Amino acid sequence: MSAGRGTPSAWAFFGMVFVLSLPFYAMAATKLALPFAPSFPVSAVMVVVPLAVAFLLVFRQGGHLATARFLRLTTDTRCLRQTTWVLAAIFIMPIAFALTAGALRLLGKAGPALQLAPSGTILAGLVLILLGAACEEIGWQGYAWPGLKRRHSALHVALIIGAVWALWHVIPFAFLGRGAGWIL
């Protein structure tokens, strides 16, 4: 399964992410909420798994120096020169959720209810979502992408990672009471 010393193996990464997510999937069944963020289930902590697996594999493949280099790459802002892509990355999910909610309403199906909360709760939720997204992206894009990109086109890599990412989220979404139509 390993692509060799020093070479990232996306498939080893994917496998480890799923195995290490099993306890979080089990926690999802309990429907317990995080004590500091009641609107988030305890299983939401699984967002740290891609980050942890990426660092574990980088360390295993190259030791402390490789891990330090990987950490520097995760905070390298030189790739943010194209503001169009940065804006797309920031707004694509909110736009996708809004379009989905609109489509569900047009089809006469109940979409997710809009629940307003105190501004502190909204800010805490936003911070948790952004931290979670960063943890996931360091793994999915920072670790899995480069290994796959050596052999596949950007579109093919995006489809592979997107499919694995979506599959990884199916169980938590199902435990949150989302139906198959919502998940798709």
Tens of pLDDT, residues 9-34: 899 999 999 999 999 888 877 877 77
Q: Which H or E run contains 115?
A: none
- Residue whose entry in the numeric block shows the structure tokens 């995080």: 34
Per-residue pLDDT averaged across 48-76, rounded?
92
113 SS3 class: coil
Place 155 in a pLDDT band, splitting at 50, 70 and 90: very high
- Residue whose entry in the numeric block shows the structure tokens 């990232």: 8
Place 45 in a pLDDT band, splitting at 50, 70 and 90: confident
Query: What's residue 122's pLDDT?
Result: 67
pTM, full prediction: 0.76
Which one, of 110, 138, 114, lies nearest residue 39 by Cα? 114
Which one, of 143, 168, 167, 146, lies nearest residue 157 by Cα? 146
Which distant-in-sequence residues (6+ apart) come within 8 Å of 112 by Cβ? 101
